[in-house]
Every structure is written in C-alpha cells, then in structure tokens.
Structure 1
Amino acid sequence: MTEQSQLTLFMHCLTVLGISTACSVASANPLEYTSGKLLTDQHKQTGKQLSHESETLEKVIVKGSKRNTELMKSDLSVTLIDSALINEARLRDFSRIDDLAPNVQFNESGQRGSIYITIRGVESNPFIVNRAAVYIDGIPFRELSNSVLNQVDSIEVLRGPQGTLYGANSESGLIIVNTKTPSDVFEQNYRIAASDYHSGQGYEATGFISGPLINKELSGSVSFSSAYEDAFVKNIGTSTGDTGNIKENYIQGRLHWTPSDSLSINATTYWLDMDAPGLFDQQYVPLNINLYNQLYADNYNQGQQIDDWTVLEDAPKYTNEEEFVAGISATYKADYGDIDLAASYRSLEEDAKGLDLDLTAAPIVAGREAESEDYKNIELRFTSPTGNHFDYIVGLSYYSESEENTKSTFLGAGTLNSYLAAPMQYKEGKDKSVFGSINWYLTEKFKIGAGLRYDNAKRSAIQTEGELNLGFGTVTRYQDAHLSETFSAWLPKVSALYQYANNLSFHASLSKGYIPGGFNLTAVQDDKVDDNVFTYDSETLVSRELGYKWFSTDKKWRSSGAIFYIQSDNWQEIQIATDANGRPISSDYISSDASIISKGIEMELTWRPVKQFSVSGHIGYVNAEYDNLQLSESLNVKGQPIQFVPEYDAGLAARYQWDDDFYFRVEANFTGKTALRSRGDIFQKATAMLGLQLGYDSGEFAIRIFGENLTNERRASGLAVENMAFGTDGLFYSPLDAPRVIGLEAEVWL
C-alpha cells in the first residue's frame, strides 16, 4: 500500500464515519483522573467500563506542569490517557502509546531491548540517551523497559521541551506514568492473557491488591506480574539449543500515609527480573530475506534458509536483567503554599550475550555486553497557592548516574563461558539545578507564563587500556583516558494562553531544551585517537509552537492541535567508524558537529454521538531534516530526513458497547516512510497496522479476544546496520516490531 493510498484510506474512513476531513483526527479520550478506589467503585456501580461522556473537557486536569491545571487553561500540548482508555485500548506496553498520540514514536532495539522515544522529529536511538524523559510515579527513567508499565492509572504525553521543570533529557517532550494509588477500601484486580504468533506463544498473569493498613491513615498496595514469551524472531541456528524465550517476574509495593490533614507521604519500590535464554537484547535481522539466503544459505548456513520470522545465528545467546527501584515523596500543604520533597534510587544490572557479528550460523565471531547502572534523584519544590493575578513555583534538584560497561568477544566456536572481556569502562554524571516558573493572569482569559532553569552537569569517564578482537584481523585498542568536564545551560520558556471561550483556548510557547555533552569511551585502530571523538559538546534545541484546545457545546466533539518549528545545534548523532569494506573498526561513538530542523502539525479529535459509541483519532505530519551532518570527508547529509522520523503518523479507533455489556473495538494505525539511518540509503516503507477486540465487560468480570498487527507487517523498528563482520554485502539488518498476534485475555475485579 502506497503512502498516498494510506492517506486516502484514512481520510475515507473519516468521511464514512461522518467526521470532517480537515487535516486531522484524534487520539485519547481525555478524562479527569480518578484514584484507584474511585475507579473500582464506579466500575462496579456502572456495570461496565467508565463512560467517557460523563466527563467534560474543562474538568480534565494536567499534572505534568507540577501544578494541577485544567486542560483548557494549560499552555501545554498534551495527550491525556486515563485508566478507562488504557483498558479499552489494551495498553500493555510502552510501544503502544504512539498508537494514541500524534508525532510520537516508540522504537525498540529488539523484543526486549532498549526503548527509545521520538517526538516531533527529535529522534532518540539506542546509543544516545533518550531525548524524551519518562517519569514513573515521579521517578525519572532516562532508559526504560516495558515491564514497569503495570497497573497504570494514567499517562500524560507532553510534546515540546520541558526543561524548565524537568531539566536535561526532556528536550523533545515528556511521558508521565502514574500507577494505581493504594485505596482506603480493600480491592483486588487479576488478569491473565495468552497470545499466539508465527514463532510461538506468550502468557502473562498480573494482579493488584490494595487496602487500608491503619484506618484513615495508612494504606498499601501490591502489584505483580509473571510472564513467558517465545521470541518473535526464532533462532533456528542456535548453538545452545535455545531458540529464544523471555521470562519476567515483577513485583511492586506502594504505601500512602496521611499522618495529618496537611501532610501526605508516598513510598514505592519494585523489583524486576528478566531471563532470556537464546536471545541477545539487540536482535538484528536481514531486511531482504531473498538476498540473504542467496548470499549465505550454502556457504555459511549449511544449506538452511530463513523466512520472515526466523534467523540463523550460532552465537551462544543469553540475556538477563535485574532492576531495583525505590522512591519516596512527601507533600506538606499550608496556607502559604505546598512544599514537595521527592527522592528515588534505581539500579540496573544487565548481561547480554550473543551479538552475532557475522549474522550467520557459521562460528566466526560473537559479542557480549555487560552493564551496571545506578541512578539517584532528589527534588525540593515550593508551589504557591493559585492566585487571581500571580502564582509561582521554585525549586532545586540533584541527579546522579553511574555506569560500568564491559564488552567481550570470542572467535570461532564456543559456549556461554567463552567470551573474553576487554577492560571495564566507567562513566559518571552529576546534575544540579535550580528552577522557577511564574504565571501572570492579566485578565480572566489571558495568562502569560515564564520559566527559567539553570542546569549544571558534570560528566566524568575513565577508559582503561586494553583491546577487543572483532575478527577478520580487526582489533580495536582502548587507550588509558581520565576525562572530566562540566557543562551548564540556562533553559528558558515563555508562553501565553488565551481562553477565547469556555470551550476554546489558544496557546503559544517558546522554549529551550538541551542534553549535556560527554565522552566517548571508544577505541580506534592503530592508536590513532582524535580528541574531537573523545569529547562531544552539549546539544541545544529551541522550539516554537502555536496550539488550540476545543470541545463542542454539546460535549460530543473534542479536539486539540498545534503547529511547531524546532531548531537544534550541536546535534548529537551516533557514528560508526568503518574500514573500506564497511566493517566496524571502533566502538560506536557520538559526534555533535551537526544541526537539524523539524517543523510540522498535529491534531487530535474524539467524537461520541451516543453513549455506546465513540470514535477517536489523530494525525501528525513532520518535515524533519538534517541541516548539517558530515558523515565523511565527502558526504554531508544536509537535507536528508532524520532517522527514525516517519513522514506522518495517524490513528483511528472506534468502539461500540451494547447494553448487555458486549463490545467491539477496531483500530487502524498508519506510519509514513521512515529513514532507518542517517545516510538516507535505507528506508522502512509506509505501513498500515490493524487491530481488533471483541469482548464482554460486566464491571466485575471482563473477557476479550484481541488481534494486533492483523496485516502481519514485517516492520523495522530500529537502527539499520551493515554486516558487522563481512561489511558491505548489499544488505541492511535491523530489529523488527512484533508480528501478527492473536490472543485471549480475562480480568476480574473484587
């Protein structure tokens, strides 16, 4: 299906449904957030999922500004996803969020690899820290996995720089996830699901138990999940006997304590354990199956051939990951304002074995990467009472991160114990910030906002002398290096909001974001080290936007949208040094002598003509190009599309629920042509993904049959690379999104 035909089909769908075909449609059905107790009580009382039409847009509350603000009075471009829509859309992993929000893409470097977020053409990739931050229960995640998305109560997707309140690494936007709060009445929720796809099956069981521990003072909750999943792409050339599967166990505990009317304290902790025998966390597969089989079937794969959802790799593979998180927050409410204190700790241990550098069943060269990461965060904030003319927020924060990384390889045949390690490399970062923002209400309808944050980031790195053998005579050598530098930035934001009527408002903003510079712990052959490779500068970004929010007087139509223009200097881009044959001769490294320009438009719309039926959709268009990116002495990709940024994305969903509690939901998501690397020499074609649910929901019990990617699109989801051992072979290799998945899910509320 061509891009033009996809857009034509999308607009035709709107016309059939009676929706105006002006440049957009909608996404989430925004609701005011409710506590876990209120959600459960209403769910039982109504005998079905919370009805969206009972809410009005002016009551929707945006929390991402750190001051609860009515949506119509907010100067943010935001998509709100409440617990009802999370359940209706069956939102079970982060990658599905982009099905509900325009100009937002979630990509993964494999079935359980790193997740990276692209917003409004400002891309992230697995080798550079996310340019969009994620906060889960107030805890920052600059990298994240799907497993933490369990028992979620609400999600906010904020587009545009949020550095004024959230600092570095929020320059493209912010994802705020709130899990269910412990309630003061006893409640339980349990869910089981089974799914089937081309290469195997998946099973998952989750639960949530909540209730009072001390009457009217202390409540607690426990949520948990246990899952098993076969690999989407099965390795039929395995040397260990494991074709690939994933086992995950997760448990989270929360406490909510209110020792007095003015003081509330929340605490949360979770533990995650993931084992994936037969899998490396970044699984690259050839995008051209026929050419791959022609080149490698007879000489390297013992006459075997692969299909769309299999690979032939001999490297002994095993990935395991363990994560621990703890956080505490306290709010003291006084007549003069609120004082908020939050602190968190996160540790992550990951060991990924089995990067098959030759990408064949031949025992040539295999790689391993082990990481140990620690993160600490603390913030103190004062929020003045909302005033008739003036209010403000001031605060300070501290963030630290440390990472130990060890790469290993071995040549020829071997086992899981054969990997030979290069010296461990170490990186550390410490960020200190002070920030403030004000709102000035000139009239009842007109508000001006301003904010400023000073961010001071210290980056340190230690590289230890050693070497890493990549095979075929390529040995990368690490030199001793002790590096330290401090980066700082002022991050301003100015905005204006005009509420033309109760059901229509306009906003404009100008804001700056940045990512601190740093160091590449990299190795270059023959001891030739370029100082410009070791150090890269801070990235800066300036965004301008105009937006609106609207709902019809009969509350049946709701819409929002924005146009934007973004410029970034010192753009940080991943580079891989290669030899004349295209083989890597160094570890990947980051350069910052580049710039980009991104401009576009986005719109959302929901329509609920009657109680039982709703339609929602969205569309986003982006023209995002490199303004300057020198990849070699002879190649500058100025004017090429930015990698991982589709030309457009759109979604359309319709749901109908009968009075006897049976329902159906159908959805279609469209993604435009997307560059898979900065050279612009390999693209993912435009795709259309269809999903369907048929189910029954009584309020206390629900069961559904679901289908995802019913068109069975084989879609690349990450950076495309050439063969890492053989070099340029005419092929590109990339991670893949999920195949067609059919499943059954049952859920009960007690």
Structure 2
Amino acid sequence: MSSTKRTLLFAAASVIALTGAQAAAQDSRSVDVITVTAQKREQGIQDVPVAVTAYNAELLQNAGVRDLKDLAVIAPGINVTSTSNEFVTTARIRGIGTVGDNPGLESSVGIVIDGVPRARNGVGFNDLGELERIEVLRGPQGTLFGANTSAGIINVVTKRPEYEFSSHAELEYVAGSEEGYGVAGGFTGGVSDNLAMRVFGAYRERDGFQTVETFGGPRTEDRDGDQDYFTLRTQFLLDFSENVSLLLSADYTKREEFCCGAPSLVSGPTAAAINALVPGARPLAGSEDPFSRVIQANRDTGQNIIDHGYSGELNWEFDNFDMTAIVSDRSYSLRSGQDTDFTGADIVFRDASNNTFDFDNTTLELRFSGEGESVDWMFGMYYSDENLVRGDAIQMGNVFEPYLGLLGGSPTLVTDLANGLGFTFIPGFGGLAPGSGAPLGGGNPLGDTFTQQGESLSFFTHNTWHVLENTDITFGLRHTSTDKEATFDFADSSVPACDVWEAVFGDALDFSTPLSQAILNGFSAGSGVAVADLVTFGTFTCLPFSRDVYAQIDNTQSLEENQLSGLLSVSHRINDDFLVYGTFSRGYKAGGFNLDRFTQAGSSAVDFQSVLADPSSYPARFDPEVVDSVEIGFKTEWFNDTLLANLYLFSSDFETYQLNTFNGIGYFVTSIDGASTQGAEAEILWLPESMPGLTVQGGVTYADARYDNFAPTGTADVDRLSGQNFSLAPEWYTSASVSYTGELEGGMNWLAHLDGRWMSEQNTGSDLDPEKVQDGYMVFNGRVGLSAEDEAWSLELWGRNLLDEEYVQVGFDGPFQPGSFNAFLGQPRTYGLTLRVRN
C-alpha cells in the first residue's frame, strides 16, 4: 500500500470517530461524562493515563455484539480468530496474542468478566448476557486485573441487579446462508428492601454455513458451523447497609454444535493419492474453491461445551478506605470431534469421547484502596488455583496405510516395507496383511491424558501521586509467584506397521546411529528403495500418535517462577481538555508445558534416546513471556466536549515470546528470543451539538509486530520467522461506526446504524507460509429500526458482512499432506429481524 493511501485512510478514520461509550453521553451529549474502571476505580475516560476505550450497552447492541468475537469489528487494533472449535478462539491486541490450541499456553490478552479473570481466551467466548459496557485496555497490564498479561485486557462489565422492576424479551430471526432464530429475555427488581435480583436467559439456534460432503460417513450431519446453545445467568445484590454490599452471581452455558470444518485452500501433490482412494475426497490442484463453502469430511465435528461458574463480590466502604473481595469458582468442559485430515477420506480423526478438555479454576482477589490529600493508593493480592485435564487421541481410519503407501506409488507399500523389515530382521515374524496396520478405529483408542495443576499468588500495589495541581505520577508494582505441575500419561499405541519399525530401529527410532545406517543401507540394497525414502516412510509410518515410545516416558514435571512486573507513568493536564502522559510498563505471562505429543521442541528434534533414559527430560517446558513497553498518550476534547480525539504511540519489546506452530505433522512450542510491536493509534468520538441524534466514531491502528532477526537454527519452520511480521498481525486496522436516531410523527423513533472494519494484508499461518497470506479486506454491518417513543417495543432489520466479503481467518498445513493447505473461513453474509419488548 502506498504511503499516500495510508495517510488518507488514517485521516478518514480520524475524522469519523472511535470506540467510545456513546450512550453514556446521550443525555448531555458530552464525551466528558464517560467513565471507566481501568484503574479499579471509577474515573473519567479522559483522566486515565491508559490507552483504554469503552463501549457502552447501546453501541454494543447496535453493533450486534453478543460475545467478544463480535467486538473485533468496532474495536481497532483487535483481531479475533476461531479455528477447530469454539474453545480455540484467540484475541490479539496490537498484533500480540497466543497462537494455537494448546491449553498449556496462557493468554497474552486477558479476559475479565465482572472482575473474574478467565484463565484461557476460549473460556471467555460465550454469550455475555446484558452488558453495561466493555473496556479494552491496550498494552501490558502488570499491576491490576488479576493475572498478568503481555498484550492487554478486555474488561467486561454486565448489568447489575436494580431495585426498580423491569423486564425485557427478544425474538430474532436469522436468514441468509445460515437460517435460525433466537429467543432471550430477563428481568430485574427488588425482592425486599435490601435484596435485588437479575435473571437473563437465551436460546439461539442457527444452521451451519458450510455444506458437508460426507462420502458415506460415519458422519451423517451435512452442515457445519451451526449454532445451538442455551445460557442462563442469575445475580443477587444484597445491601447490608449503605456501606456494605454483596453481589452473588451464577451462570451456565451449554453448546451442542458442529464446528469447525476447513475447506481446501491449496491442494498439493498428495491430493492425487487421496482421490485415488476416495474420488472427490479433496479438490485436485486448480479446482479448489474454498468460498463455495463446501467441505469434505467423513468424520464428525460435533462439539459439546458446558461452561458454568459462581462468584461473589463484597464491597465494604470504611471511613478512610474501601475493601473489595472477589471469589470465584468456574468449570469448563469440552468434548469435540474432528476430521483431522480435513478430507473425505478416512485417514485420521479425533473422536469426541477421546478429544476432551476439562478446566477448573478458583480465584480470590482482595483489594484495599483509599484517597489521601495527595495520593490515591491501592494494594491487594490475587490467588488462582487451576486444574486442567486434556485428553487427546488421533485415531487412524481405514485408508491411513494405503494413503501413506500411495505417496510412494503403491497402496500396500507401508505393509510391504514393514514385512520386508520384519522378515529380514525380526526372528519369527509372521507378516502383516495389507491394511493390518490401520484397522478402522485403530491406533490409540484410549488416548493420552495430560494433567496440569497450577497455583499463582500475586501481591500488587497501584498508586497515583498528585505531585502538582495538574501533574500526577502513577506507579505500580506486582510480584507473582507461579507453581505448575504437569503429568504426561501417554497411552499405548496399537499400530502393527510402526511396531515393526520400532522393533528394528529401536523405540527411539533413531535412524542416524551406525547400526541403523547399516540396516538401512542393507535393506535399501535388497529392496531397491533409496535410504532417504526409507527414512521418510519410517517417519510417516510412525507419526507421533503411532509410536510406542511415548508410553514408556510417562512423567511428571514442575516449574516455579517468581517475577516482578509493574509500571511508572507521568501525566500532565495542560488544560481542562488536554492530557498528555508517558508510561513504562513491564508485562509477564507465565511459562508452562506443551501438553501434546511432539517430536520437535523449539529448534531441536527430541532426543528420544535421552528421554527414554530419563523420562522427566521430555522437553515439554517453555519459558515465560516477558515484555517491556513504552507508551505516550495524548487525550484531548474539543468543541464544548463534544469531540474526543486521542493519539497513542507505543513500543513493546519482548525478551521472550511464546510461539506455538503447526508444521503439518504436529504442534511444537518454542520461545523466540526477541520480538517487538510498535506503532500508533488514533481514536475519535464525535457527538455533534447541531445533530443531537448523530454519533460518529472511528479509529485507526498502525502496528509493526515482528520477530527479531536471529541466527539460523537449522529448523526451517523456525528460521522462516527471523525478522518477519507476526502471523495474524496486519500493519493497519481501521474501524468506523455511524449511529443516527430521530423521532417520527406519531410517537415513534427511528435508528440507522452502520459499522465497518478494514484490515491490511496479513499472513494467517503461524509458520508464515506464503500460501496463507490474506489480502486486505473490509467487513460492514448495518442495522435500521423503529421503536416506540418510550422504547416499549422496537423492530430492527440488520445485516452482518453486508458485502459478503470472503476472507480467511486462519490458514494451516493440511495434516499429513505436504504441500496442501486448508483454511478456517470468516462467516458469510447473514441478515435478520429482531423484535424487542420492554416493561
């Protein structure tokens, strides 16, 4: 993109205003009344020396924001993607986020809902219910909001119970490529003089937006990407006195959906082998059409998710200070099937009974705060106790062995080579019949179990010293101690062909030893198969899920970390309408363990000979993520406080950056030494006095997020990253929104709303293959409606992705298909009607 076009886009987005909580200012039409809790106390948004943007209930409703994935369209600098199921949803801010679906990785972007941190991104992506506002804090957050984060915080505040009774109901019809409906409703009111409650419930159902060719199954469902969930939320507010209150909350969500198939983006040479076994099971090269939204999947992608929890928040105002205590207990359960080869051929799959994730998390936060003549102070502690259990089993279908054989020219090649090795080197070997190495449903039917227990204890302080009348110094410090223990319980494998290779070359399957080389040379001379090809077929016959070696290295590992983080900020109010500040902060995200089978750790292959001698040396541990960030902010108000215009300059340098990447065979986790993101953000909110029904907002972010240059490691998937931009990190994000309301004769109101986002080119793959590049694209949403003057009812016509923009969310290597690539797509155009009634 030319510098001229960039400048024009920046100017256009800056003229139309951003992300603010417009409706909080609807009565007074002043940006000066917008409040946030970015520093755990209510403050005007223009008084906080933090890059924070607030979105209020009316804006969120007009933009159709029900969960945090919807937020990305109106929030500049945020990118949210979903891949193989709803849990694998990742948020990124300024190009920084956690890559991949490994639950051993904590989130770079923290999600906090009503004061309770969600320990993984995917746990926080459900229907949020009745929203009060959402605040987005950009940059490392080291002293507040529960756990540390290295990229930012999305702070969700839902509506609290009220004593005045009110109720509402909503009926929605969805049309387009995904037809469905939704019903929602709730009420709030006083139960007694000092007890109020709020109840919200919703049920939503929608057809899948992808058609599935099942090729005889066993899958029978011919749609994918549907929606079928129920959610219920209750709150009780008990006011013991004017100074003491207790908020009790409970919520429950259940999802039973099919998600997520991925069409072919590029078909490589292996597509011919797949089609020789099952014609049409993968488009051949040149016939790929991912946006036809027709996928090939003979195996089930059903997912069953249950997410529920309880929390209590006690607020006690003493004479000279306030105390807040928040305790929570949450559980998350996932059962998810997967057609792991993403074709119609029965090569490999995951059954929902063996592909599981269970997560329990208990937290406690205690804060004390007060205001003196010159110092606003706060100190507290945060404790988290989490337990997660991951079950994983990649199973082989009935064409696994013929498929591998066809890569070498014969569907029986895997069996032939195994028989040749067995007859030659294994006394008494009886031989394998073709296909015996891949019985239907064979290979690891019980699955591996990974268990991780973690405890984190933090003590923090966050203070503001009013040095002069218009000058403040904010300083915070946090000490975090983290203890984790992971247990790797690998299941036995039952793959006869691989058993032969391991019997001949040892369970470590080390082809480089002198004995192995002698065997390979001798067998090559007798079989006519080149040594390099023998190694390739041995590797593919004994992919990680097929190998017996893992069952011999069950082990338990632990780590302990102690880390200091914090911030120092100086802010100066030049006048009532102009605040400037500069902040240095250090962020931290804990290290952990790669909860998976893998043959590569970082830039090195796993030395299974050493691991067999000492199973605890299985190199699963990865380092913490540590970042130092500098930010300069300018917050201004204009035209009688009807125009908010802010500018932020930022630079963040990572000492270590956690990377999880897929190379077509498996995920491997490594810590990159050195990465950075730097750039600028502008945001504007305009509430024109001459047009009291008009609110215009928009914003632009430029972020250059890239890996530092590093010396070659010898591993192509790692070396490709040196000096390159992060995946899923476009340089430019712009968003804009226009809302206009007015009155009609006869006592009715009207609404017109349009929002949109443009993102520049980005590579959507963690290993930056050029086939995964997504060109810049735009998405627009709109809404028009009529309502009663007293808002007793409203009827709205809305559309999402109005231009039916076709774009890739995430591209990835076709599993076990070198040269082929698949993609998880963005949703197509949908539209519908929403009827609301209120009392």
Name the counterpart of 2:736: 652
Name the counterpart of 2:503: none
Render the CA deviation track for 1:249-278: whole Å, top value 9, x for unaligned. 1101000110111101001001111112xx
Find the aligned partners of 1:22 and 1:201 in 2 and give their Cα distance.
34
2:79 aligned with 1:84: no
Q: What is the letter of the counterpart of residue 831 of structure 2?
A: I
2:111 aligned with 1:134: yes
Which of 685, 690, 697 does residue 606 from structure 1 map onto?
685
2:196 aligned with 1:201: no
TM-score (norm 2): 0.80
Which of 228, 238, 243 does residue 257 from structure 1 map onto?
238
Q: Which runs of 5+ in 2 are unaligned?
A: 284-288, 399-438, 496-539, 600-606, 612-616
Find the aligned partners of 1:230 and 1:652 in 2 and give their Cα distance.
30
2:600 aligned with 1:623: no
CA spacing shift, 1:547–1:596, aligned 2, 3 Å: same
Q: Is the 8 A contact 1:696 1:703 kept in 2?
A: yes
Q: Which moved more, 1:539-548 or 1:524-533?
A: 524-533
Which of 734, 750, 754 does residue 662 from structure 1 map onto?
750
State the SS of the aligned residue for 1:164: coil
State the SS of the aligned residue for 1:733: strand
Find the aligned partners of 1:31 and 1:260 in 2 and give their Cα distance.
33
Deviation at 1:480, TM superposition (A): 1.3
Q: What is the letter of the counterpart of residue 70 of structure 1?
A: G
Deviation at 1:419, TM superposition (A): 7.7
Q: Which moved more, 1:235-244 or 1:250-259?
A: 235-244
Deviation at 1:109, TM superposition (A): 1.7
2:23 aligned with 1:52: no
Q: Is the 8 A contact 1:572 1:594 kept in 2?
A: no
Which of 766, 791, 808 does residue 716 from structure 1 map onto?
808
CA spacing shift, 1:207–1:295, aligned 2, 3 Å: farther
Name the counterpart of 1:496: 570
CA spacing shift, 1:415–1:567, aligned 2, 3 Å: same
Q: What is the letter of the counterpart of residue 787 of structure 2?
A: D
- Pairing 1:340-489 to 2, within 5 Å after superposition: 340-353=324-337, 355-368=338-351, 369-384=355-370, 386-412=371-397, 420-467=445-492, 472-474=541-543, 475-476=546-547, 477-478=549-550, 479-489=553-563
Q: What is the letter of the counterpart of residue 555 of structure 1?
A: D
Which has the greater radius of gyration?
2
State the SS of the aligned residue for 1:287: strand
Q: What is the letter of the counterpart of residue 21 of structure 2?
A: P
Render the CA deviation track for 1:493-522: whole Å, top value 9, x for unaligned. 000111111111111111011111112233
State the SS of the aligned residue for 1:482: strand
Q: Which moved more, 1:638-647 or 1:285-294?
A: 285-294
Find the aligned partners of 1:5 and 1:171 in 2 and give their Cα distance.
33
Deviation at 1:163, TM superposition (A): 1.4
State the SS of the aligned residue for 2:32: helix
Find the aligned partners of 2:597 and 2:272 in 1 and give their Cα distance.
34
CA spacing shift, 1:431–1:307, aligned 2, 3 Å: closer
Q: What is the letter of the counterpart of residue 244 of structure 2?
A: L
Q: Is the 8 A contact 2:720 2:768 kept in 1?
A: no
Report the RMSD for the aligned CA atoms in angstroms.
2.7
Render the CA deviation track for 1:377-428: whole Å, top value 9, x for unaligned. 00111001x2331121011111011111111233225999998122311111
Q: Is the 8 A contact 2:252 2:306 kept in 1?
A: yes
Deviation at 1:631, TM superposition (A): 6.6
Which of 264, 270, 289 does residue 286 from structure 1 map onto?
264
Deviation at 1:691, TM superposition (A): 1.9
Find the aligned partners of 1:516 and 1:31 in 2 and give their Cα distance.
37
Render the CA deviation track for 1:704-726: whole Å, top value 9, x for unaligned. 111111222222223x3211132
CA spacing shift, 1:694–1:640, aligned 2, 3 Å: same
Q: Which moved more, 1:293-302 or 1:55-64?
A: 293-302
CA spacing shift, 1:569–1:600, aligned 2, 3 Å: same
Name the counterpart of 1:106: 80
Q: What is the letter of the counterpart of residue 740 of structure 1?
A: R
Q: Which moved more, 1:236-245 or 1:561-570?
A: 236-245
Q: Is the 8 A contact 2:23 2:59 kept in 1?
A: no
State the SS of the aligned residue for 1:592: strand
Deviation at 1:638, TM superposition (A): 1.9
Find the aligned partners of 1:106 and 1:508 in 2 and give their Cα distance.
28
Q: Is the 8 A contact 1:409 1:468 kept in 2?
A: no
Which of 678, 682, 688 does residue 778 from structure 2 map onto?
688
CA spacing shift, 1:388–1:620, aligned 2, 3 Å: same
State the SS of the aligned residue for 1:147: coil
Find the aligned partners of 2:298 and 2:751 in 1 and give their Cα distance.
47
Deviation at 1:621, TM superposition (A): 0.6
Q: Is the 8 A contact 2:13 2:734 kept in 1?
A: no
State the SS of the aligned residue for 2:729: coil
Q: Is the 8 A contact 2:91 2:109 kept in 1?
A: yes
Find the aligned partners of 1:32 and 1:746 in 2 and give their Cα distance.
21
Q: Is the 8 A contact 1:357 1:725 kept in 2?
A: no
CA spacing shift, 1:291–1:746, aligned 2, 3 Å: farther
Deviation at 1:653, TM superposition (A): 1.8
Deviation at 1:230, TM superposition (A): 1.8
Q: Is the 8 A contact 1:29 1:52 kept in 2?
A: no
Deviation at 1:100, TM superposition (A): 2.3
Deviation at 1:562, TM superposition (A): 0.3
Q: Is the 8 A contact 2:14 2:683 kept in 1?
A: no
Q: Is the 8 A contact 1:192 1:746 kept in 2?
A: yes
Find the aligned partners of 1:680 and 1:589 in 2 and give their Cα distance.
15
CA spacing shift, 1:274–1:468, aligned 2, 3 Å: farther
State the SS of the aligned residue for 1:148: coil
Q: Which runs of 5+ in 1 are unaligned?
A: 12-19, 34-50
State the SS of the aligned residue for 1:604: strand
Deviation at 1:320, TM superposition (A): 0.5
CA spacing shift, 1:32–1:455, aligned 2, 3 Å: farther
Find the aligned partners of 1:529 and 1:749 in 2 and give their Cα distance.
68
Q: Is the 8 A contact 1:53 1:611 kept in 2?
A: no
Q: Percent identity at matched positions?
A: 20
Render the CA deviation track for 1:78-103: whole Å, top value 9, x for unaligned. 01111121122222221221222221
Deviation at 1:5, TM superposition (A): 9.9
State the SS of the aligned residue for 1:702: strand
Q: Is the 8 A contact 1:58 1:503 kept in 2?
A: no
Q: Is the 8 A contact 1:3 1:672 kept in 2?
A: no
Number of aligned residues:
707
Find the aligned partners of 2:580 and 2:151 in 1 and give their Cα distance.
21
Deviation at 1:310, TM superposition (A): 1.7
Which of 656, 660, 665 does residue 574 from structure 1 map onto?
660
Name the counterpart of 1:514: 588
Find the aligned partners of 2:487 and 2:681 in 1 and give their Cα distance.
44
Render the CA deviation track for 1:601-644: whole Å, top value 9, x for unaligned. 01111223311222211110111110156674452522111011
Q: Which moved more, 1:604-613 or 1:2-11?
A: 2-11
Find the aligned partners of 1:529 and 1:254 in 2 and give their Cα distance.
55
State the SS of the aligned residue for 1:165: coil
Find the aligned partners of 1:65 and 1:532 in 2 and give their Cα distance.
42
Name the counterpart of 1:324: 308
CA spacing shift, 1:334–1:118, aligned 2, 3 Å: same
Name the counterpart of 2:764: 676
State the SS of the aligned residue for 2:143: helix
Find the aligned partners of 1:454 and 1:428 in 2 and give their Cα distance.
20
- Pairing 1:149-298 to 2, within 5 Å after superposition: 149-166=128-145, 168-198=147-177, 200-215=178-193, 217-237=194-214, 238-243=217-222, 244=224, 245-276=226-257, 279-280=258-259, 282-288=260-266
Name the counterpart of 1:37: none
Name the counterpart of 1:72: 46
Q: Is the 8 A contact 1:77 1:547 kept in 2?
A: yes
Q: Is the 8 A contact 2:698 2:734 kept in 1?
A: yes
